[in-house]
Structure 1
């Protein structure tokens, strides 16, 4: 009797697990996860680009000051 109850419980748990996994593969769920991932990646790319451009501008100002090129446009 205990053995039967164990296997019935195991079968019910496995059935629930399989059903939940199959529901996670539903096209709407997959599309939603993909959209969230793409939006997150786009935000990371924007942050990186913003940081890189800011650092490049700071470095350019530093180099212009070091080599005396601050007024290069007015020397013509």
Structure 2
């Protein structure tokens, strides 16, 4: 009796775990996580590029460049 109860509990736990893993693989969840990671990566790349540009400008005697916020909502290409 205890053995059956153990295996029934184990099976139910595995079923819940598998269902949660499968739920996480839905396209909307994957897209949301991917977009978040890409946004973070792009921010890191921009920060690294600005740092490197300031290093190069300092080495060659040019002024430093401040961080300019980008506005991607402009429709006319400016």
Which interval holds the TM-score relative to the shorter structure? 0.7 to 0.9
Instruction: Measure the CA separation in 2 of the matches of 1:40 and 1:4.
Output: 48
Question: 1:16 is matched with which residue?
Answer: 16
TM-score under structure 1 length normalisation? 0.79
Secondary structure, in 3 states, of the residue corresponding to 1:61?
A: coil
Instruction: Measure the CA separation in 2 of the matches of 1:16 and 1:52.
Output: 49
- Deviant stretches of 4+, over 4 Å: none
Structure (1/2) with the larger helix percentage: 1
Question: 2:75 is matched with which residue?
Answer: none
**Highest relative contact order (Cα 8 Å, sep 6+), 1 or 2?**
2
Question: Residue 61 of structure 1: CA displacement?
Answer: 1.2
Q: What is the aligned residue count? A: 62
Question: 1:48 is matched with which residue?
Answer: 48
| Residue ranges of structure 2 left out of the alignment (5+ in a row) | 63-78
Greater Cα radius of gyration, structure 1 or 2: 1
Instruction: Measure the CA separation in 1 of the matches of 2:12 and 2:47.
Output: 47
Residue by residue over 1:13-68, the C-alpha shift from the partner in whole angstroms, topping out at 9 and shown as x without a partner, is 00000000000001110000110011011001100100000000110119xxxxxx
